[in-house]
A = this chain, B = another copy of it.
Amino acid sequence: MAQLTGGDPSLLRRINSAVVLHALRGVDAATLTELVGVTGLSRPTLEGVIEGLVDTGVVGPAAADAGSERKQGRPARRFRFRAESGYLLGIEIGPHRVAGLLSDLEGRMVGSAAREVDEEAPAEERLERTRAVVGEVLRHSGVPRDALRAVGVGSPGIIEADGTVRLGTALPGWTGLKLGDRLRRSFRCPVLVENDANAAAVAEHWKGAARDCDDLVFVLAGLSPGAGSLIGGRLHRGYGGAAGEIGALHLLGREALPEKLLSTTGEPLHKLDEAAVARVFALARGGDAKARDAVQRFIQRLVHDVAALVLALDPQRVVVGGWAAGLDGVLDPLRTELARYCLRPPQVKLSLLGEAAIATGALRLALDHVEEELFAVESTVTARR
């Protein structure tokens, strides 16, 4: 056997624990003998590993299986992965609402809550609203705060690795906010902050319109589109966390702000006023010529920005979400125009998760973080390279 891991006993123990957890997670329960067979570990090593895992609470005794009872003596002890030994929280902090989702260690949802927030609300009010939503979801589901293993957060802006918002023009007071640090005061577990479109991309891959697809671009279509992408199943954040922030592209040479494009009066719309945008779309459907021109300009711009992403990245699929995705007459022109200009046109699908996408993705990122700690055989072995 190649001694790939060298002589570090704690590393070895970590790997062995991960191997055992992997094995237990795939079944309802298993005996020590079964685990010896699956993992290849010696029985004494396995007993030590199981003991450690039981101490942390991640593994516990399972009911004895009648079929496995020995003819003589007591039945063999069985162990199981305790999905209820820890919980994950996914939070969306958006322009118009704050939402929270709670799951166990298997990712099964056990609670949710959401509250509206004014688009003009200052950062402190938005943070207060967030704390209220977190309190509510924990209270309603009866999960103690200390049982949280990780918290994921999705919010607009370019987010640094420590959760600081480097640039976030969509929300008042967001740029420069140490969002990660502020939220960490409320939790004793890791808090991971991610760009909202990135989180939504992860969510659609997990349980939405891209479950069968590892190379996707998720477009959060609003007045100014943002995007998140997965490459080979992994989130592509970019070197500085700014990947997919294509909103500035239309400015090049054209200075065409979306709030002007969609205006029928010459006066720009308020950039977060979704209702005004929906009115323009409704007018256009009703045959209003100015509104139809405005919608046409808006669609052309969305096509252009999405085409830029598609040509740069060549994804298998584009998933369109955000509130503008639901507007009639967005998806079809996007599909037609992309097919016209892209050398290899991608599939274009509507988000399946809708407004739940961002919180769901934030939850998945929290779950990824915990799984990496618990099950990361690969990273520990290959770290030696």
**Do B231 and A4 touch (CB < 8 A)?**
no
Q: Does A6 interact with chain B (Cβ within 8 Å)?
A: yes
Chain B residues, CB < 8 A from A16: 2
With A2-B41, A385-B378 in contact, do A311 and B248 touch (Cβ < 8 Å)? yes
Chain B residues, CB < 8 A from A237: 314
- Which of these, B248, B253, B341, contacts A343 with CB under 8 Å? B248
Query: How far is it, in angstroms, between the C-alpha of A29 and the C-alpha of B6 when the chains are bound?
Result: 22
Query: How far is it, in angstroms, between the C-alpha of A238 and the C-alpha of B215 when the chains are bound?
Result: 8
Chain B residues, CB < 8 A from A382: 378, 381-382
Q: In residues 202-239 of chain A, which contact B (Cβ within 8 Å)?
A: 215, 227, 229, 231, 236-239
With A231-B236, A382-B381 in contact, do A253 and B300 touch (Cβ < 8 Å)? yes
Nearest chain B residue, comparing its CB with the CB of A17:
B2
Query: How far is it, in angstroms, between the C-alpha of A229 and the C-alpha of B239 when the chains are bound?
Result: 12
**Do B252 and A304 touch (CB < 8 A)?**
yes
Query: How far is it, in angstroms, between the C-alpha of A16 and the C-alpha of B215 when the chains are bound?
Result: 34
Chain B residues, CB < 8 A from A307: 248-249, 252
With A308-B308, A382-B382 in contact, do A344 and B4 touch (Cβ < 8 Å)? no
Chain B residues, CB < 8 A from A3: 1, 39-41
CB distance from A338 to the nearest CB of B (A): 10
Q: Does A136 interact with chain B (Cβ within 8 Å)?
A: no
Query: How far is it, in angstroms, between the C-alpha of A345 and the C-alpha of B200 when the chains are bound?
Result: 25
Interface string of A1-44 (1 = CB under 8 A from B): 11111110000100110010000000000000000000111000
CB distance from A370 to the nearest CB of B (A): 18
Chain B residues, CB < 8 A from A385: 377-378
Nearest chain B residue, comparing its CB with the CB of A14:
B2
**Do A316 and B239 touch (CB < 8 A)?**
yes
Interface string of A290-314 (1 = CB under 8 A from B): 0000000000100110011101111
- Which of these, B2, B241, B315, B337, contacts A314 with CB under 8 Å? B241
Q: Does A342 interact with chain B (Cβ within 8 Å)?
A: yes
Q: What would 8 A/B residue contacts be, using CB atoms closer than 8 Å?
A: A158-B344, A237-B314, A239-B314, A240-B316, A242-B314, A243-B312, A249-B341, A252-B303
Q: Give 10 closest A-B pairs by Cβ, nearest first.
A: A238-B314, A3-B40, A312-B312, A308-B308, A243-B314, A240-B344, A239-B316, A242-B314, A215-B239, A242-B344
